[in-house]
A and B are shown apart, each in its own frame.
Chain A
Amino acid sequence: MRKVLMLAVPVVMAGAAQAGTLELSVEIPKLTVAEYHRPYLAIWIEDANGKVAANLSVWYDVDLKDNEGEKWLKDIRQWWRRTGRTLDMPVDGVSSPTKPPGKNTVKFDTAKGSIANLAPGEYKIIVEASREVGGKELVEIPFKWAPGTETTASASGKEELGAITLKLTK
């Protein structure tokens, strides 16, 4: 009896929120254009049914006067449709300033926030960029969420986004 219980413990642990890191490297390409503005960008996790499972980050002009930056959030179209329009901005831990061209790495503690509630299974991490007087692009990286396992996956955009790399570490 005792032996069985001992065995059961690690299994239960694996299913629950476990300390770990979800690291995402997002490359913003350097563009030679007449008028350049850093893109507004959203990162979220979608479940197998296309529903937003975790809202990770949205980069926009958080410090503009009169919350002027929020006026353009609707241009991150898919994010806006799926989750943005029902949020009361800014959202703690989600709202963040825009980032410069180059590789930008963001890390999330998998034991905290909405990631902690993810059931093991198939998901996609989605990065959507929308640039003022520029283009829009959305990149998806499918991944398997199995807490306690390590994974690396990547995908690349063509115009508005460069290489996107997802690393899940214990």
Chain B
Amino acid sequence: MKTLAKRLLVAAAVVSLTVGAAHAHRAWFVASSTVVSGDNPWVTVDGAVSNNLFFPDHRPMQIEAITITAPDGSVVKPQNATVGQYRTTFDVKLEQKGTYRIAQANSGLNASWKEGAETKRWRGTLAEYTAQGIDKKPGVELTLSSRRVETFVTNGAPSDLKASGKGLELTPVTHPNDLYAGEEITFKLTDNGKPAANVEVVMIAGGDRYREEAGELKLKSGADGTLKFKLENAGMYWLEAESKGTASMEGKTLNSMSTYVAVLEVLPG
């Protein structure tokens, strides 16, 4: 328990500012290609938080929080990174064969309580929470939020992807770079490494700007966290899942909210 709390404290300290900031909009990474071939291929990636998919119109992704993991588990630096007004752009050189994960994962603590008719909000670490007396506020609700936004790029044949074991995540049964229109796709959702049952998942195809309705595909994970579906059309899809529950830190029970976003390319079958 103590190590978990410690880990959460560290995470909260580092990235507490980014949590929640983009929650009302859609965060995404879109790679120029999700399947690449040849010697040392490159992809260029856009990262943004926007209303329409996948058109940057609100905020860029924060470059510091982006982690690119190579097939062998090593961390690769983004190259030629630029943070623009609406989007962040960077390049990735894929020197290894297999699947690269491009992700932004963060977590933090936030609290809210009422002072009269006003709702007060606070962000910080668990130590600050008690030190600043936030825990004594009347009717205070403490929530541990975590969010992961990611996409995948494969050079050559797809390779295994390891779950981080933190927050809500998608574990491949069908590889995320091996998705085809008209074929069944199976994923497993996990929350802190455990099967995430009955989690609501929304999928939206890119290009919603040109449609009257976004055409949300609503799905729900099964008792073992399994998510099974079929997509009729090829395209770039945005998947979002959210789970709410409780977590326990240093004997305190608190709310937990975990969001997961993946951008997945579905190729013509």
| Residues of A in contact with B (beta carbons under 8 Å apart) | 66-74, 77, 80-81, 84-86
Contact = CB atoms under 8 A, between A and B. Distances in A.
Nearest to A70: B38
9 contacts: A67-B39, A69-B38, A70-B38, A71-B41, A74-B37, A77-B267, A85-B35, A85-B156, A85-B157
Contact of B38 (A67, A77, A81, A86): A67
Contacts of B36: 71, 74
Contacts of B178: 81
A74 B35 contact: yes
Contacts, number: 35
Contacts of B267: 77, 81
B268 interface: yes
Contacts of A85: 35, 37, 154, 156-157
Contacts of B33: 74
Contact of A66 (B39, B154, B156, B157): B39
Interface residues of B, number: 14
Interface of A (DSSP majority class): helix
B interface majority secondary structure: loop
Given A85-B157, A86-B156, A86-B157, A77 B37 contact: no
Contacts of A77: 267-268
A6 to B, nearest CB: 49
Nearest to B39: A67
A77 B269 CA distance: 9
Interface in B150-180: 154, 156-157, 178, 180
Contacts of B35: 74, 80, 85
B98 to A, nearest CB: 10
B128 to A, nearest CB: 49
Nearest to B158: A85
A37 B154 CA distance: 26
Given A69-B38, A72-B37, A74-B35, 19 more contacts: A67-B39, A68-B38, A70-B38, A70-B39, A71-B37, A72-B38, A73-B37, A73-B38, A74-B33, A74-B37, A77-B267, A77-B268, A80-B35, A80-B37, A81-B180, A81-B267, A84-B37, A85-B156, A86-B156
